[in-house]
Chain A
Amino acid sequence: MGRLSVNLCGIELDNPVIPASGTFGYGYEYAELFDINCLGTFSFKGTTKDPRFGNPTPRIAECTAGMINAVGLQNPGVEQVIAHELPELKKCFHKPVMANVSGFSVEDYAYTCQKLDKEEQVGWLEVNVSCPNVHGGGMSFGTDPKAAAEVTAAVKKVTTKPVIVKLSPNVTDVVSIAKACEDAGADGISLINTMLGMRFDLRTRKPIIANKMGGFSGPAIFPVALRMVYQVAQSVNVPVVGMGGVSSAEDVIEMMTAGASAVEVGAANLVNPYICKQIIDDLPRVMDEYRINTLSELTGGAF
């Protein structure tokens, strides 16, 4: 085990750095820029049962220290992902990958997860019950402990690989939802998805985003993410993957101190496509600065 390595649900990662779903496609745009095998793993673009175009444009708005997106889970659907995207991904990434799954019904989630579970390269299933950008699905499963538990149980029943449930920050009591998922069999919890936000165009006096609201991400939400990871990690016995505004090696260390076993990096990839590689390269230096021997010793150190 190296200084940077961590264990996530029984699978060892060379380092805890994981590009977050929706900011890294299926890997190949970034593979043009650097060898993406330096990553711990990455969570690929949110996949649904059927192909989706997603929301109308504009889908993006800028904010102070962040951005809003309302892409709406554009993806080619699970059949195409298995037939085309995964074989392409395999050419540039040789480690277990995290399959991110969304749905509009409990059956959708189970169907898509069951298919992806059979794919050799899939290491974990990250079940997104927290997408704020789709109607009648996504986040509605992640704002109610019962619904989140139902999705978790249905997915667990038809899969063999570790199931990590990705939670929304747009709730009053994230701990109760995390606990419900754990009780339903979740092998891990990841959080936070984006925070529901808005921007207006002063010229048109209308929302910038065509879907009106969208998911706010970026450095501005980092403190909120830390708080929620801290709350959840203390309350569950399964590993927590922390994300939300992480943009530097220091942020990774802070997120692990809050209780995360691994860390996802989202919006920062879109601004600096090399950020994950730079964070990984920078970690040993920052660890030395703070006298940290191994990253895995950090997790939960603040409780």
Chain B
Amino acid sequence: MKQSYFKIVENTALTDNVYKMVLQGDTSAITAPGQFVNIRLDGLYLRRPISVCDVQGDLLTLIYKTVGKGTKQMSQMTSGKLDVLTGLGNGYDLTDSGEKPVLLGGGVGVPPMYLLAKQLISQGKQVQVVLGFNTAAEVFYEEAFKALGAEVTVTTVDGSYGVKGFVTDVLEGLEYTYFYTCGPEPMLKAVYKASRTSGQMSFEKRMGCGFGACMGCSCKTITGYKRICKEGPVLKKEEILWED
């Protein structure tokens, strides 16, 4: 973990309520895809945890949805500096991927799949990506994944774009060696049930600190209590205990 200041280089809307922010600064503490950063914003007490979409040299890309005060405030920033804690969370473990992993992202669960896809492809893996959205207007980053060389399928719940249905509808017809996923909890549960291999899932919880000090985001797993911010956000399928 590292605390440092990042310069805002870009902040553009990808859809009605999803924004892409590019920051410039010391990215050295970011060691794995699926990690997150925690951003301090003027006038707001707690930091805002946002997952890492991409890192390239000193450039850090974040994609976030405006869901509350903090993300709305972020979406209006065009320049200046941000106080950011980087290198938080465990991130995805690439070692078990096999030759043909599938990456499933739902909504703002899509961004962390990007750096993961990039790294798996650079290791020579044949990466399949399934991106799930509610409707055509919400779709983003399809082209970006294609540009990496991934096989991309997009699903929309209302069928207004790509395959009608959920990411799990596509998953059923795919051949894959391992899965990685991030998205809303109902989607994670569905992927957990539908998947035929082992895999890893990234969870979201309201956090206090984001670095393991406050125990605000604890969960129970088969291998004991874990802090989503520290021993997570990525859990292996085999250790997940659904709470309800």
A270, B46: Cβ atoms closer than 8 Å: yes
Please choose the segment from B20-28, B107-115, B203-211 that sits at the chain A interface, where 4 or more of its residues have CB less than 8 A away: B203-211
Interface of A is mostly: loop
- The 8 Å CB contact of B218, one of A33, A53, A64, is A53
Q: Are A53 and B1 in contact (CB under 8 A)?
A: no
Interface string of A30-69 (1 = CB under 8 A from B): 1011000000000001000000011011111111111101
Residues of A within 8 A of B225 (CB): 53, 74
Stretch of A17-25, A148-156, A161-169, A285-293 with 4 or more beta carbons under 8 angstroms from chain B: A17-25
Contact A57 B1 (CB under 8 A): no
**Is B216 in contact with A273, judged by CB distance below 8 angstroms?**
no
Q: What CA separation (Å) do A153 and B178 show in the bound complex?
A: 59
Q: Is the CB of B215 within 8 A of A71?
A: yes
Contact assessment for B45 and A271 in the assembled complex, using a CB-CB cutoff below 8 Å: yes
Chain A, residue nearest B217 (CB): A57
Asked whether B44 is an interface residue with its Cβ less than 8 Å from the other chain, the reply is yes
Complex-state Cα separation, A53 to B211, whole angstroms: 18
Residues in B neighbouring A30, C-beta threshold 8 A: 213
B219 beta carbon closer than 8 Å to chain A: yes
Whether B211 contacts A29 by the Cβ 8 Å rule is yes
B34-77 vs A, Cβ < 8 Å mask (1 yes, 0 no): 00000010001111000000000000000000000000000000
Known: A32-B1, A270-B208, A273-B3. A69 touches B214 (CB 8 A): yes
**Considering only CB atoms, which chain B residue lies closest to A74 in the complex?**
B215
Whether B220 lies near A53 (C-beta < 8 A) is yes
Give bound CA distance, A58 to B44, whole Å. 19
Picked from B1, B205, B213, the residue with its CB within 8 Å of the CB of A23 is B213
Query: What residue in chain A is nearest B83 (Cβ atoms)?
Result: A272
Query: Are B85 and A273 closer than 8 Å at their CB atoms?
Result: yes
B143 to chain A, nearest CB (A): 32
Judge whether B208 and A67 touch: CB under 8 Å.
yes
Q: Are B213 and A69 in contact (CB under 8 A)?
A: no
Name the A residues within 8 Å of B230 (CB-CB): 29
In the complex, residue of chain B having the shortest beta-carbon distance to the beta carbon of A32: B1
Q: Bound state CA distance, A252 and B218, in angstroms? A: 31
Q: Please, which residues of chain A bring their CB within 8 A of the CB of B243?
A: 56
Cβ contact within 8 Å between B217 and A69 = no
Cβ–Cβ < 8 Å partners of B215 in chain A: 22, 25, 45, 54, 59, 71, 74
A-B CB contact pairs (8 Å), 28 listed: A23-B209, A25-B213, A25-B215, A29-B230, A33-B1, A53-B218, A57-B216, A57-B219, A58-B206, A59-B208, A59-B216, A59-B217, A59-B218, A60-B46, A60-B206, A60-B208, A60-B214, A63-B45, A64-B45, A66-B45, A71-B214, A71-B215, A71-B216, A74-B225, A208-B206, A270-B213, A271-B46, A271-B47
Across the A-B interface, give the 10 residue pairs with the lowest CB-CB distance, nearest first: A270-B209, A60-B216, A58-B206, A74-B215, A60-B208, A29-B212, A62-B46, A59-B216, A71-B215, A60-B206
Known: A29-B212, A30-B213. 20 other contacts (CB 8 A): A25-B212, A25-B213, A53-B220, A56-B243, A59-B215, A60-B207, A60-B214, A60-B216, A63-B45, A67-B45, A71-B216, A74-B215, A74-B225, A267-B45, A271-B40, A271-B45, A272-B3, A272-B40, A273-B209, A273-B211
